[in-house]
Amino acid sequence: MTQLQDSLTGWIKAGALGLAVAAPFAVAAQAQTYPDPGETLDWTIAFGPGGGNDIMARTIVEILNTYDLYPGDITVENRAGGSGAVGWGYLFGQAGSGYGISTTSGSFVTTPLQADTPWEPADFTPVALLATDDLVLVVNGSSDIQDIGQFIEYAQSNPVTIAGTGTVNVDFIVPTLFAQAAGFEFEYVSFNSMADQTTALLSQSVDAMVGNPGEILGLIDSGDLRALVYSGASTPEALGDVPTMGEVGYEIGVSMPRGLILPPDAPAEAQAFWIETMQQVVETPEWAEYIRSNTLTPTVLYGEEFRTFLTNTQNGFAEVLRSVGAIQ
């Protein structure tokens, strides 16, 4: 493992503060004024339909409705653009409200590092880190490349294009570290949604792409896409015998945080309500199935521990991105 990767892993571990054993903290009794059943909850998804952020948000909303965990109406809207900057910027503009909410992803941490956003992750009111996930590198199912060894060999002689969602984020960091370690170069092609980048790969406009397994398992199972390597510590059962990056000699130690946030300066009773509510959500069988089917790692931190995690993770990502010249 390189010094850079060691440093990044240290930042992530520092941010996690013992993720595997973290327990929900006690939530104070909630004020009866929140939530108001007459207020509609404005749920923002900062990316287009079909991606990991969209799937998680809609899964949570479905669980809330199934178990009557939120007394009012919920409107869900995809506000894609700028690697999440548009959607999270909209939520930022709802400062002080308890009736705006959004899910996070790796771009929530990295977008402010490379774009002039008026917000940082720590500005929002943290509810919970709910899971982390990793990426699978895939090629078109009709490609002559059959495994990761062939891909590396080809890429060492023929610089390749690799697609991902967002610009300077986890989708960029993972292949960048892997390419550095494996000794090849590539051009990163950014898309606003998984649907768009998948279309590009299926039409052979790019050579490969990275994505969350849960978003593309159907296309892998059908043979339309071929999985080559997984960035996590161990390969999910759903991916069969696909090796991890560590197993082929290039461990990178980067995962994507998936969580829930409210606008900046949301009322304390709103934060308390959502922490307690998410403690119930993660105990449902529907959530367990979501974690399983989307090959996620259940990783839970609540409130200020989540804010600390976001800050430490952003510091670690910034170090990586500066080292490769992606940001100043």
In angstroms, rounded to a whole number, what is the distance separating the alpha carbons of residues 139 and 149? 13
Average pLDDT, the chain: 88
End of a domain among 239, 266, 287? 239
The DSSP result for 50-109, as a single string, is TSHHHHHHHHHHHHHHHTT-SSS-EEEEE---GGGHHHHHHHHTTTT-SSEEEE--HHHH
**Distance set, CA 233 to CA 50, 93, 174, 176, 195 (Å):** 25, 38, 13, 18, 26
Range of the domain at 176: 136-239
Question: Residue 230 — φ and ψ, nearest 5°?
Answer: -115, 140
Q: pLDDT, tens digit, for every residue of 12-56?
A: 444 444 443 344 443 443 345 899 999 999 999 999 998 889 999
Q: Could you tell me the CATH number of the domain that includes residue 208?
A: 3.40.190.10
Peptide bond before residue 35 is cis, with ω within 30 degrees of 0: yes
In angstroms, rounded to a whole number, what is the distance separating the alpha carbons of residues 67 and 51? 25
In angstroms, rounded to a whole number, what is the distance separating the alpha carbons of residues 86 and 192? 11
Q: Give the H or E element holding residue 219.
A: helix 213-222
Q: According to the model, what pLDDT value does residue 286 have?
A: 98
Tokens of 146: 């059959």
Residue 142: CB atoms within 10 Å: 11
Q: pLDDT, tens digit, for every residue of 196-235?
A: 999 999 999 999 999 988 889 999 999 999 999 999 888 8
Do 100 and 189 contact (CB within 8 A), yes or no?
Answer: no
Q: According to the model, what pLDDT value does residue 40 have?
A: 97
Percentage of residues in the chain with pLDDT exceeding 90?
66
Kindly state whether residues 203 and 260 are assigned to the same domain: no
**Distance set, CA 176 to CA 56, 84, 318 (Å):** 26, 20, 14
More confident residue, 89 or 3: 89
Kindly state whether residues 231 and 263 are assigned to the same domain: no
Q: Count of domains in the chain?
A: 2
Kindly state whether residues 19 and 117 are assigned to the same domain: yes
Tokens of 208: 């490969």
End of a domain among 213, 239, 265? 239
Mapped onto helix, strand or coil, the DSSP state of residue 165 is: strand
Kindly state whether residues 26 and 123 are assigned to the same domain: yes
End of a domain among 209, 239, 269? 239
Q: Are strands 160-165 and 208-211 parallel, antiparallel or unpaired?
A: parallel
Percentage of residues in the chain with pLDDT exceeding 70?
90
Read off the DSSP letter of residue 244: B
Residue 24: CB atoms within 10 Å: 16
Does residue 249 sit within a domain?
no
Kindly state whether residues 232 and 143 are assigned to the same domain: yes
Q: Specify the pTM.
A: 0.72
Does residue 15 sit within a domain?
yes
